[in-house]
Structure 1
């Protein structure tokens, strides 16, 4: 995460049109250099003199070109990679089951295409996901996979709001989910038999 402000100084002999063209050319060059050097992602929104999605060429001679880079796709990719890395691997089924839900729909496209401003959930729809995450089931890895993943993502992307939540999965969103509780021994009323279980999920949003 970084913020960079660049002031361009040009000869006063340049015409207003030439100054605008110079500013637009340099802004594009700096943007592309940041992307090619992996200092910034290739997803961004352009603001020219306060106008969203305007072309750089229309900038005023003393105007401002602002690029707002979107880190949500990169944060999502990191979350999936870390959740899989921290998962038990006895059969590999649990590790392979991690999925991404964007604004209530399973995301099957390239993660780089996740729209800015989306709400992203990274979760595992296996029926024992809650037990593994909370320590109710002994596995080869320590509990708290989602929280450990959240901390990694938050450290690397402080401009992303990362939260661990227990969420419900509506029927039809993910095949096989939600799992319905069949017994009520030792459970609170919020987790009574006949009710769908909630799943630990990492919820990602861009900070405004």
Structure 2
């Protein structure tokens, strides 16, 4: 399977970067064709341009500046996002990748009949998320309503193939994590990815 792993963290010595390496290495060891996209190391520019915004509300989106990213996404069969949740949301650079790359003609098309979106990422048959939260589970879910999960699994995943497989793995309470909790989560990620 052709799988893109999109990673977003400024530090290469971070736990999230270690998760990224484990995902990429495990996929490769299982025989998958892997495209490792490290947004910080690639110096991705998250801010939508004026031209992109002006062309966004239709099917003539100006994707010239992100054409390579769009082409990669359309060639994949699977996508795994690896990033930390900051303020209960994805980092700005990853949000910018979504804003700019998951545009009209790439992730969806506008139906001119009633102006709704039609999914266009029929090629993506696997949608996975590996993430971390500084807060414990109960704050993320009960207090904050787990907004990040909803964006990913209710907003983005429906633009993929109708029966796309998915998984969502999260290490909660990173602010109080231990070597044991981090190693256990790494093992969980490795085991999940190895079964793909």
Output the TM-score relative to the length of structure 2. Answer: 0.28
Q: Which structure is richer in relative contact order (CA contacts within 8 A, separation 6 or more)?
A: 2
User: Highest CA radius of gyration, 1 or 2?
Assistant: 1
Output the TM-score relative to the length of structure 1. Answer: 0.27
